[in-house]
């Protein structure tokens, strides 16, 4: 849910491809600390999102490919 919120509030549309949003700055360790979770838990969640094509993780940057899928996985609906 945090990545969906960051994509909506602080995300910047990718100039090369429409419907992609870039979230720059936070690392997986930063996300884990803000959510009070282990880094491995965050890594597993991001791995699942990458597998489903909703997210791409780069160095200090997350690229959201499908915000609707990210919301769906966050809410479970």
Please report, in tens digits, the pLDDT of each residue of the chain (77 residues total): 888 888 888 888 877 766 789 999 899 999 999 999 999 999 999 999 999 889 998 888 999 988 888 888 777 75
The CATH number of the domain holding residue 32 is 1.10.10.10
Query: pLDDT at position 35, please?
Result: 93
Q: Which domain, by its residues, includes 13? A: 2-75
Beta bridge partners, 13, equal 21
Q: How many CB atoms lie within 10 A of CB 12?
A: 11
The pLDDT, as a whole number, for residue 77 is: 59
Alpha carbon separation from 35 to 10, 39, 52, 55, 67 (Å, rounded) = 17, 10, 22, 18, 20
User: For residue 61, what are its two tokens?
Assistant: 């940057």
- CA-to-CA distance for 8 and 38, rounded, in angstroms? 24
Q: How many domains does the chain have?
A: 1
Residue 17 pLDDT: 67
């Amino acid at each position: 849910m945090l990545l969906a919120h960051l994509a909506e509030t602080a995300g910047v549309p990718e100039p090369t491809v429409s419907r992609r949003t870039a979230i720059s700055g936070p690392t997986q360790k930063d996300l884990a600390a803000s959510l009070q979770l282990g880094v491995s838990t965050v890594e597993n969640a991001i791995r699942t999102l990458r597998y489903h094509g909703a997210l791409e993780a780069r160095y200090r940057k997350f690229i959201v490919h499908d915000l609707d899928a990210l919301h769906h996985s966050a809410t479970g609906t």
